[in-house]
Structure 1
Amino acid sequence: MKPSLTISLVQTNNIWENIEANLISLSSKINDIEEQTDMIIFPELFSTGFTMEADKVAESMDGKGVLWMKGISKRKNCLVIGSLLIRESGAFFNRLIVAFPDGHLEHYDKRHLFSFAGEDKVFKAGKERLIFDYKGFRICPLICYDLRFPVWARNTDNIDLIIFVANWPNARMLAWDTLLKARAIENLCYVIGVNRVGEDNNKLIYTGHSAVYDAMGGTILSFETGKEAVRSVSIDLKHIIQTRRQFRFLEDRDDFVIK
């Protein structure tokens, strides 16, 4: 029997720069997720919104958001994934956290900082991808603007699932929808995008469009535009194996080194 994963996507609004209020709200939203889910995914900077006021709301790796993720992971016995605004060694990071049920943490610091909004002036960029194994799947989680850079997302390590957590505004939703599907097709893997909804304090409108695509770019799950929701989907490794056996496109990919 080939492995499968049940994954719960949380498309939510944010309360601007209010960590405690966001965590209370999210705790209520995910309360009814079934115990057998393998993974819960939140959007980018889910506890603060996409703020550049890092000095005001950044937390440490022992802060409220991280401890909350660890608690949810242990209680639900599943992975919990999302990005937080983290202060470490005198620098700020847009950091994706992966909390494991045993209390273990992995993290990825956003490499492509959104210079259009001045993110590069506030945060320190990451240098390495995170790829980890979980229940038979090789998983690579990335953050928002990374979606526009196919070389960084390129499947060079037999990745089965790429995850993008985002604060991607409505004005550029065509790019979001198109690029998520493209990353699935070119990498012959599942791709999940989890985006927020609502309006932030910069007057940007977010309409979600969270979605799951299979290795051929087929839509497995798509969310209603502009609506908060928690939805779950199952993905099967058998689909990846069969698709790559039939279409051996990854064998022809270019070799390269990212500096």
Structure 2
Amino acid sequence: MLTCTAAAIQMISTPEVADNLATAARLIAEAAGRGAQLVVLPEYFAIMGARDTDKLAVQETYGNGRLQDFLAGEAARYGIWLVGGTIPLASDDAGRVRNSCLAFDPFGACVARYDKIHLFGFDNGSERYAEADTIVPGAEPVAFDTPFGRVGLAVCYDLRFPELFRREQLDIWALPAAFTATTGRAHWEVLLRARAIENQCYVVASGQGGVHPTGRETFGHSLIADPWGQLLDVLPQGEGVVQAELKASQLERVRKTLPALQHRRL
């Protein structure tokens, strides 16, 4: 791994795609202007609709579409590695889409696609979420290579499944999310720090963070954690950029001092 500067962008996305793209562009520019080489957008950055089915209206075919063109253009404009949160890509089921995370290189080429594997389901009597109603789950873990290390992709609810993060020893995990306020207060930070600690890697987690025009409240607290579980930067709520240097020396130090990954027996 080589040292790099990473940024997690936090948004409060709306049902209006044009407004969301303008906000994302502004925050990407801010991150790039501050020297970020790896930038991560949040889950559903392009649309947080009033209904779960609203995203079906803006779905795209993989390799072609407004949202993908936007991501490719922003990556090339600033010469950055851009993890494009998630966007709805067409599936074989007309009533459901894939919740897909695409990664672009500094030339604007898509180098990785990850379809969210674990679909969120939650019902406490007053809040109910059932992503499987409108999303087809993915099946395969995905990682890609950069000059500063190998980066894994995971999305939101995936965070609760540590076996996904154990499939391959990686240097960095990029995790776009839209955690609810309820589950976020209870579990967000502790889960992210656990994934960083047990896998001795950096975690760059980009969330939705605030009260959306639809009334939905997301937890925010976008953060960057190092391989020792320390928080390098965090933004509790509101739009903004979380940014930190991912030091190769810290990764090497942790793995050498406490070689837990070499001690695995199961």
TM-score normalized by the length of structure 2: 0.88
1:97 aligns with: 102
- 1:53-78 CA distance string (max 9 Å, x none): 14323222311111100000000101
Cα shift at 1:178: 0.8
Deviates more, 1:191-200 or 1:109-118: 191-200
Give distance in 1, aligned partners of 2:142 and 2:119.
17
CA distance in 1, matches of 2:265, 2:88: 35
Q: List per-residue Cα deviations over 1:56-106 (Å, max 9, x = no partner).
A: 232223111111000000001011111111114445100001011223211
Gaps of at least 5 residues in structure 1 are none
Matched residue, 1:68: 70
In 2, Cα distance between the equivalents of 1:231 and 1:220?
A: 9
- Give the 3 Å change call, closer, same or farther, for CA 70–92 of structure 1 in structure 2: same
Residue 126 (structure 2) aligns with:
none
Counterparts of residues 239-250 of structure 1 (less than 5 Å): 239-250=250-261
**Which residue is 1:151 aligned to?**
163
Q: Which amino acid aligns with 1:12?
A: M
Contact 1:7 1:232 survives alignment (8 Å): yes
1:30, 1:70 → 2: CA distance? 12
Task: Tell me what 2:241 maps to.
Answer: 230
The residue type paired with residue 28 of structure 1 is: R
Q: Using the TM superposition, give the Cα deviation of residue 201 of structure 1 relative to its aligned residue in structure 2, in angstroms.
A: 5.9
Q: Following superposition of structure 1 onto structure 2, how do residues 206-221 of structure 1 map, counting pairs within 5 Å? A: 206-221=218-233
Alpha-carbon RMSD: 1.9
**Cα separation, 2, equivalents of 1:209 and 1:242:** 27
Q: Give the secondary structure class of the aligned counterpart of 1:26.
A: helix
Q: Secondary structure at the match of 1:132?
A: strand
- SS for the counterpart of 1:111 is coil
The Cα shift of 1:133 comes to 1.3
Match of 2:48 in 1: 49
> Match for residue 139 of structure 1?
151
* 1:83 corresponds to: 86
SS at match of 1:183: helix
**Alignment: residue pair count:** 251
CA distance in 1, matches of 2:56, 2:208: 23
Matches of 1:98 and 1:210, distance apart in 2: 19
Structure 2 residues without counterparts, runs of 5 or longer: 123-128
Aligned equivalents of 1:29, 1:137: Cα separation in 2: 24
- Higher mean Cα deviation, 67-76 or 202-211? 202-211
Question: Which of 172, 184, 187 in structure 1 is aligned with 2:183?
Answer: 172
SS in 1 for 2:183: helix
Q: Who is 1:110 aligned against?
A: 116
Secondary structure, aligned partner of 1:127:
coil
Contact residue 202 and residue 227 of structure 2 kept, 8 A: yes
Aligned mates of 1:169, 1:138 — CA distance in 2: 29
2:221 is paired with a residue whose SS is: coil
Q: 1:34 and 2:33 equivalent?
A: yes
Paired amino acid for 2:113: H
When normalised by structure 1's length, the TM-score is 0.90
- AA aligned to 2:239 is E
Answer yes or no: is the 8 Å Cα contact 2:158–2:164 preserved in 1: yes
